[in-house]
Amino acid sequence: MDFGAFAAIGAGLAAIGAGIGIGNIGGSAMEAIARQPEATSKIQTNMIIAAALIEGVALFAVVVALMK
Amino acid sequence: MKNLLKEVTLSCVALLACFNTMASENKNNKPGAEEEFNSVEMIMHHISDAHDFHFLDYTDSEGVEHAVSIPLPVILYTNNGLVCFMSSAFHHNDDGSYVVSKRGTNFVKYHEKIYQLNDGASSLEFDEQHHPLNAVKPIDVSITKNVFSMLLSLVLLLTLFGAAGRSARKNPGAPKGILAFLEPIIVFIREDIIIPNVGEKKYKTYIPYLITIFFFIFFNNLLGLIPGGANVTGNIAVTLVLSVFTLLVTNFSANKAYWKHIFLPPVPLALYPIMVPIEVIGVLTKPFALMIRLFANITAGHIIILSLISLIFVFKSIFIAPVSVGFVLFMYTLELLVALLQAYIFTLLSALFIGQAIEEHH
């Protein structure tokens, strides 16, 4: 059993999770900016923060995959 | 101020020159043996710590391999006391076969770790679990790549902020020079990160720590991106220490409301066996997440860039180069953004945790 392959699959699944999550955030941020363009900078700041947090979780999984 | 920065940089370069720069050494005597390109090995070598700044290897016209590198001091604490020598004594040997004798003890280097051979042993042997059979590891406090890079960023921080602080004190009014560059950033950190999260009343105690953390992480992220630079913030030991600092600052400045919330949460008594362990573990997992987030983001960025470059060598074709370099440029831009963003996130979350700890019960 080649565990290296499972590690690669795990990392790929983590990437899918991150993609879905950050895509959601990006989409909501776009809608919010479309509704209220004056609040663009606030929305952008919060979007970046949430994206970084989600990416942190995805990278947890990458780190575990790297261990193998 | 500009002159001071120039002086410091030049003295750093001069210091490096004293360490026998561009020390060209004969690595092995096999004439020009072409070995398979192992990208994993190359990537791991670039993101790990090392005892010298290794830039490149080249094979000269006679087929002998030379290495271009800057050796760094090796400082070991053994039973015989402190042993110091330059890492060039190992002659770029990294598989435990070249023995360096200092003060009666024999040392070998295997995968950038230094082992002290027991008496009578002439080369390193390992058992199945990869434990050394005939050697021990002395306490290694060498100046490695990461230590050197951290010292460099320390000097950079002290110079820049010392100059900025002096200028702020002496010249009231519009800032000039390095202060004009740093002040908007520092004010942004104070207004948008520290005050909203830590609170209006007690934020002044925590400004020094949070601003230091921000710029330390930011400068080290940037220095790691320079080719040939050391991967400081991508070393989990470094990020562990930084998150331990946040843990200590948070918990030592916590007030009674915070501890009451952890050990006596306002829930029905039946839920205590679940809530209290979760809250206690939560105290530890928050800095743990800080550590992993910074480490993984920076290391992953470096691995991506190195992998894209090594595509050229895997395909053994020059035509991959424009595609590869284009991707690498894009990734580098992203990495610059990530360097700033990760410093911002670390500082933001540290400020948030501190704010939660000192919050009054409402």
* Per-residue pLDDT tens digits for B53-73: 888 878 888 878 788 888 888
Q: Which of A41, A55, A64 to mutate to test the interface with B (most CBs of B within 10 A)?
A: A55
B192 to chain A: which residues are within 8 Å by CB?
45
A62 to chain B: which residues are within 8 Å by CB?
296, 300
CA distance B30 to B329: 36
B residues 3-22 near A, CB within 8 Å? Answer: none
CA distance B346 to B218: 10
Both B119 and B255 in one domain: the answer is no
Q: Which of B300, B341, B342 has its CB closest to that of A62? A: B300
Question: What would the two tokens of residue B79 be?
Answer: 């039973």
Q: How far is CA B332 from CA A51, B241, B262, in A?
A: 19, 27, 43
A23 touches chain B (CB under 8 A): no
Residue B75 dihedral angles phi and psi, to the nearest 5°:
-125, 115
- Cβ–Cβ < 8 Å for B159, B5: yes
Q: Are A52 and B341 inside 8 Å of each other by CB?
A: yes
CA distance B203 to B196: 9
Q: Are B292 and A48 inside 8 Å of each other by CB?
A: no
Q: Which of B47, B341, B353 to mutate to test the interface with A (most CBs of A within 10 A)?
A: B341
B295 touches chain A (CB under 8 A): yes
Helix and strand tally (H, E) in chain A?
2, 0
Output the average pLDDT for chain B: 83
Both B28 and B157 in one domain: the answer is no
SS3 A1: coil
Local structure of residue A4 (DSSP, 8 states): H
Q: Which of B296, B341, B345 has its CB closest to that of A63? A: B296
B341 to chain A: which residues are within 8 Å by CB?
48, 52
| Tens digit of each residue's pLDDT (9 = 90 or more) over B253-284 | 888 888 888 888 888 888 888 889 998 998 99
A50 touches chain B (CB under 8 A): no
Both B281 and B150 in one domain: the answer is yes
Q: What is the CA radius of gyration of chain B?
A: 25
- Cβ–Cβ < 8 Å for B56, B324: no
- Cβ–Cβ < 8 Å for B298, B231: yes
Both B151 and B124 in one domain: the answer is no
Both B138 and B97 in one domain: the answer is yes
**How far does Cα A20 stand from its chain's mean position?**
7
Both B24 and B114 in one domain: the answer is yes
Residue B9: per-residue pLDDT: 62
Percent of chain B whose pLDDT exceeds 70:
91
pLDDT at B218 over 90: yes
Q: Which of B240, B292, B347 to mutate to test the interface with A (most CBs of A within 10 A)?
A: B292
A39 touches chain B (CB under 8 A): no
pTM for the predicted model, two decimal places: 0.83
CA distance B41 to B313: 13
CA distance B310 to B43: 9
Of B79, B52, B92, B72, nearest in space to B137 by CA: B79
pLDDT at B29 over 70: no
| Tens digit of each residue's pLDDT (9 = 90 or more) over B292-348 | 999 999 998 999 899 888 888 888 888 888 888 899 999 999 899 899 999 999 999
Both B182 and B213 in one domain: the answer is yes
Residue B127 lies in domain:
20-71+73-142
| Tens digit of each residue's pLDDT (9 = 90 or more) over B71-110 | 888 888 887 788 888 888 888 877 777 888 887 788 888 8
Q: Which residues contact B332 (CB under 8 A, 6 or more apart)?
A: B225, B305
Both B218 and B291 in one domain: the answer is yes
Q: Are A60 and B348 inside 8 Å of each other by CB?
A: no
User: Chain A closest CA to B338's CA: distance in Å?
Assistant: 9
Q: Which of A22, A62, A67 to mutate to test the interface with B (most CBs of B within 10 A)?
A: A62
A5 touches chain B (CB under 8 A): no
| Tens digit of each residue's pLDDT (9 = 90 or more) over B227-243 | 888 899 989 999 999 99
Both B277 and B291 in one domain: the answer is yes
The total of structural domains in chain B comes to 2
Both B157 and B238 in one domain: the answer is yes
B345 touches chain A (CB under 8 A): yes
Q: Which residues contact B195 (CB under 8 A, 6 or more apart)?
A: B203
A62: nearest CA in chain B?
Answer: B296
CA distance B70 to B226: 16
Last residue of a domain, one of B125, B142, B159: B142
Q: Which of A52, A59, A60 has its CB closest to that of B345? A: A52
- Cβ–Cβ < 8 Å for B21, B14: no
Region A12-37: mean pLDDT is: 93
Is residue B277 situated within a structural domain? Answer: yes
What CATH code is carried by the domain that includes residue A40?
Answer: 1.20.20.10
Question: What would the two tokens of residue B354 be?
Answer: 């501190």
Q: Are B297 and A63 inside 8 Å of each other by CB?
A: no
Is residue B5 situated within a structural domain? Answer: no
Residue A8 lies in domain:
3-67
Residue A19: per-residue pLDDT: 93
Q: What is the dihedral of CA B321, B327, B329, B335, to 10 degrees?
A: -140
- pLDDT bucket at B219, cuts 50 / 70 / 90: very high
CA distance B239 to B109: 26
Last residue of a domain, one of B114, B142, B170: B142
The total of structural domains in chain A comes to 1
Residue B34: per-residue pLDDT: 55
CA distance A23 to A10: 20
Is residue B6 situated within a structural domain? Answer: no
Q: Which of A48, A49, A59 has its CB closest to that of B293? A: A59
Q: Which of B192, B297, B348 has its CB closest to that of A59? A: B297
Both B104 and B202 in one domain: the answer is no
Count of pairs with CB atoms under 8 A, one residue in A, one in B? 31
Last residue of a domain, one of B82, B114, B142: B142
Question: What would the two tokens of residue B65 be?
Answer: 């391999």
Q: Which of A45, A48, A56 has its CB closest to that of B293? A: A56
